[in-house]
Amino acid sequence: MLKEVTATRYVTPLREGGSLPGLVEADDLGLYVMKFTGAGQGRKTLVAEVVCGELARRLGLRVPRLVTLGLDPVLGLGEPEQQVQDLLRASAGTNLGMDFLSGALGFDPLAFPVDSAEAGRIVWFDALINNVDRSWRNPNLLVHRGELWLIDHGATMIWHHNWPGAAASAARPYDASDHALARCAPDVAGAAAALAPLVTEELLAEVTAEIPDVWLADEPGFETPDDLRRAYARPLLDRAPLVHERVTGIGTETSGREGTGTEASGREGTGTGASGREGTRTHTRTGTQEGK
């Protein structure tokens, strides 16, 4: 179970991404980045954050700790911005929180070298979850105390938007030519050898058990939240042993920034909430209003 805390103060919106996460204080006095059930794609985005974040953590990748954040929409009444008020009003109940990494910097590949082993692990993991939101324009990687942290797994697992087609969708390749770490010589095969065997039914049962029931209720085609948890596990189990053979766009012959036309079909997910997120930000301090 994720730790449960309750939001006590809305501090400020974080304006870099598209989903308007907020910085909030909670009743344990912690500072959290809050992701709202009432935003954009709603609760599926939050389910993806939990499944991918908790899986990444168990594979040894750095992800800020996740909690559930209870929200009383009364908190938004004093907010001057209509957009923020609306979001808070639409998000009563259980939302997602993530430890705020104070002073973290947005990843800049020119300022922070990543070795091929670590780049390989991250690219392999993104291929596994079909992450369409870790491009060099919008890396969703933070540098905190000299280490790389993964954030923002909302635009992943495209298959959960269409369960009847999930198996076919999960068999698709992954085009990494735009990936933030495509130029760090990612050792994807080495990562696969180390990490794929860890992705077992038991591990995924543990990971999916972390999803709050309220975000799984009433999904068409599923009787119980646990049925849906098993559906989340299936494509990941199927993909883990072979996805490294289906990663395109990181060979020496390709260079993502120029766009050499390696448009593999694995990126069809860019229409599911990731669109319009990409900014030109590099190396900005987080936790402040960027005004964009």
For binding to ligand ADP (CB under 6 A), which residues are involved?
14, 16-19, 21, 33, 64, 98-101, 104, 106, 140, 142, 151-152, 154, 277, 286-287
* Residue whose entry in the numeric block shows the structure tokens 């189990």: 237
> CB of 291: closest distance to ligand ADP in angstroms?
13
Give, as ranges, the residues between 135 and 174 that touch Mg ion (CB under 5 A): 140, 152
- One of 2, 10, 17, 76 touching Mg ion (CB under 5 A): 17
Give strand ranges (E) for 22-102.
Answer: 22-26, 31-35, 66-71, 93-99
- Minimum distance of ligand ADP from residue 131's CB (angstroms): 12
Residue 126 interacts with Mg ion (CB under 5 A): yes or no: no
Q: How far is the CB of 9 from ligand ADP (least distance, A)?
A: 17
Which are the contacts of 98, defined by CB distance < 8 A and separation ≥ 6? Answer: 32, 33, 35, 49, 53, 64, 65, 66, 67, 151
DSSP code at position 43: H
First to last CA, the chain: 35
Considering CB distances under 5 to 8 angstroms, the limit depending on partner class, which of ligand ADP, Mg ion, none binds residue 104? Answer: ligand ADP
Q: Note whether 106 binds Mg ion by CB under 5 A.
A: no
What is the dihedral angle through the alpha carbons of 33, 38, 42, 46, rounded to the nearest 10 degrees? Answer: 30
- Asked whether the CA dihedral 75, 77, 79, 83 is positive or negative, the reply is positive
Interface segment toward Mg ion; rule CB under 5 A; list 13-21, 22-30, 108-116, 266-274:
13-21
Residue closer to ligand ADP by CB (options 100, 232) is 100
The residue ranges that bind Mg ion (CB under 5 A) are: 17, 140, 152
